[in-house]
Amino acid sequence: MQTHAQREREAEEAIDAINKKTGHNMPQAIGTAVLLIAIIVACLLININLFVALIVVFMVLALWELRVDFATAGLHIPVAMLWICSTVTLVSAYYSPYHIVAMAMCAIVSAVLVSLAASAKLSISTRLSTAVAAKLAHTDAGARLESSFNHEGGEQHHSRLSHVAVSLFTLLYIPVLGSCLVIPLTFNGHPIAHAIMLVFLPALSDTGGLFAGAWFGRHKLSPRISPKKSVEGLIGSMLFAMAGAFAVFAFTYDASLWATRWWVPVIDGIMIGIVGTFGDLCASMLKRDIGIKDMGHLLKGHGGVMDRIDSILMSAPFTCILLWITGL
């Protein structure tokens, strides 16, 4: 019979094998996920305005992470201006009676302000320099060699147009896509159900892809960009998202809608699985190009905030449009 120590050793070896295959510390990842779920659910149950505020906080944290990530390659974004513009855009998109118009106008004005701020003389604060040094210290030499930027040559210098282009990309990536997380909360009278579909279904899709890829992954989806991604993981992502969509629809809408809308959870699950995986690959490609491993280290077992919300941001406009077109 096996001793207690042998069983513990086998359990540790099994966990290490799963961690190696998934690329995550799974006990930490699960603990962080449970905490995040508890915070999000609490905000939804207490007041939907708290959920909107939580989205703003996450976007602000994501912008700081991107500032540090881009700074490792010598690219600087005006994070203070982006914080202001992002907050105003998200708040206006939710509270204005003309949600889409408000988002569009804020995005246009933000593009002008961010471009001007990015083209101004830039300087790196001591705090940012420390964060960049810590980021590079946690990045292996192989990742730096694969980067488009030579980290070993000291600070990189780029034209002002490069800083403006990266800043505008950040503006589109964070506040514009983030607005698609708050606009669905304003129509058709199902804000909590919409919030769950927008936030939890991509997260559930990621979980399905993670476990399906760990247990059944044989065929690589994109070995060069993300070696951990597999075709089996993509199928698991779609199936988990589809199952979650059916559960949300079953608890939200009455039976009369199912006769004509039964196909919506199927489309939603497939769409979230594909788009969410595409978002992960885009983030991986960005990290590989910059020469870093993780976007940040704020969420134990998940990397940074951006590593957690990339698929959520990419899926948001598609889910928003689907819910609006189908009247759900």
Q: Confidence band (pLDDT; 50, 70, 90) for 11?
A: very low
Give the type of residue at 248: V
User: Is position 186 within any domain?
Assistant: yes
35 phi-psi bin (left φ>0, alpha ψ -120 to 50, beta other): alpha
How confident is the model over 255-273, as a mean pLDDT?
A: 87
Please, what is the average pLDDT of the chain?
80
Class of residue 158 by CB neighbours under 10 A (exposed 0-12, middle 13-18, buried 19+): middle
> CA separation (Å) from 145 to 140, 149, 166, 197, 254?
9, 8, 22, 39, 56
More confident residue, 151 or 132: 132
Q: Confidence band (pLDDT; 50, 70, 90) for 223?
A: low
Of 21, 178, 18, give the one whose Cα is nearest residue 92: 178
Q: What is the count of structural domains for the chain?
A: 1
Contact by Cβ (8 Å): 171, 107: yes
Class of residue 191 by CB neighbours under 10 A (exposed 0-12, middle 13-18, buried 19+): middle
Q: What does the pLDDT look like over 191-217, one tens digit per residue?
A: 999 999 999 999 888 888 877 777 776
Residue 179 clears pLDDT 70, i.e. is over it: yes
CA 8 to chain centre: 35
User: Is position 18 within any domain?
Assistant: no
Strand bridging mode 220-222 / 226-230: antiparallel
User: Is position 25 within any domain?
Assistant: no
Burial per residue of 18-50, b for 16 or more beta-carbon CB atoms within 10 angstroms, e otherwise: bbeebebbbeebeebbeebeeebeebbeeebee
Instruction: Show the domain range for 249.
Output: 35-326
DSSP 221: E
User: Is position 26 within any domain?
Assistant: no
More confident residue, 108 or 18: 108
User: Is position 12 within any domain?
Assistant: no
User: Is position 4 within any domain?
Assistant: no
User: Is position 293 within any domain?
Assistant: yes
User: Is position 229 within any domain?
Assistant: yes
For the entire predicted model, the pTM comes to 0.81
